Structure formats: C-alpha cells, structure tokens
Amino acid sequence: MNQDGLPDQVRPAQGYAGDVSPALAHRWWSQGDAVMVDVRSDAEREWVGYVPGAAAVPWKQWPGMVPNADFDALLRSAVPSGAKVLMLCRSGVRSIAAARRATELGLQAYNILQGFEGDPDSHGQRGHTGGWRRAGFPWQQS
C-alpha cells in the first residue's frame, strides 16, 4: 500500500486493463512504460492544472460536458501501437469510461485512481485527499 492507502499493483476492473494508483501510474509514465492521457476538458486543465507531457484528449468538453466527437481519432494519434495508456481525469470516474472506450479501440488502458484532484475530504473539497497533484507528481498551472 502507498501513502494514500492504495495498492501498488493493478487492481482488476471490468471492461479495461485495470485501476492503478497515482504512484504506480507515475512510475510507469516516468519510466516510459506508458502514455498518460488527460481526459479532462480543456477548461479544467487550464483552470486547475495539467501534467506536462500528458496527451490532452478530452472525453467531454465544456460548456455542457458534451462528448468529444474526435475522442477516438485523437486517442489513436496520441498512443503508439502496443503502448499502455493511463487515463487521468479529475477524480477517476470519467477516466473509467475513457479506459473502456480505449479498450474497445484495442488499447491496453488503465484508469488512474483518485485522478488529478483526489477524493473529496470531509468538507466536500478535492485536492486534500489523494490524487496525482497531492502526491507531488509533476504538474503545472497556467
């Protein structure tokens, strides 16, 4: 288990390769063993922050969180053939849907648990409990 109580191995999942902790995702990504795809909207990445080097392939777009009609094509162009893909969203929910779609497209796709911002704390706020950013992994803000 890591500092956020998440397993440091792949957790089995339905419809995609599995769920991974931010720590395991960081290890795979930083070693070049996987491509990270940030499926958050352009607005989220702009306002909240982003992971430098992650491919930006929105699952849904603001305003209205409308499905991205170009998702499949953008994902295929972002992920080299045979590469593992790590899906990142705000909380680890939209990235599940994106990982399932990536799997349907023939990719080995994983969901990053807790996403970029982590789980809500006792006050319902994100950014204090788990997630990529709180773990101290690379990120920037515009």
What is the end-to-end Cα distance of the chain in Å, rounded?
33
Residue 60 has pLDDT above 60, yes or no: yes
Residue 40 has pLDDT above 80, yes or no: yes
> What is Dmax (Cα atoms) for the chain?
43
Residue 65 has pLDDT above 80, yes or no: yes
90: its two tokens: 């705000």
> Which residues contact residue 91 at a Cβ distance below 8 angstroms, ignoring those fewer than 6 apart?
114, 115, 117, 118, 119, 126, 131
What's the pTM value of the predicted model, to 2 decimals?
Answer: 0.91
pLDDT score, position 62: 82
- The helix or strand, by DSSP H or E, that contains position 111, with its residue range, turns out to be strand 108-112
User: Could you report the per-residue pLDDT of 1-38, keeping only the tens digit for each?
Assistant: 555 566 678 999 999 999 999 999 999 999 999 999 99
The CATH superfamily assigned to 16-47+68-76+83-136 is: Rhodanese-like domain (3.40.250.10)
User: Could you report the per-residue pLDDT of 95-128, keeping only the tens digit for each?
Assistant: 999 999 999 999 999 999 999 998 777 877 777 7
Weakest-pLDDT range from 58-67, 110-119, 126-135: 126-135
pLDDT score, position 22: 95
Backbone angles phi, psi at 10, to 5 degrees: -70, 130
DSSP code at position 10: P
| Sequence spans of domains, the chain | 16-47+68-76+83-136
DSSP code at position 19: E
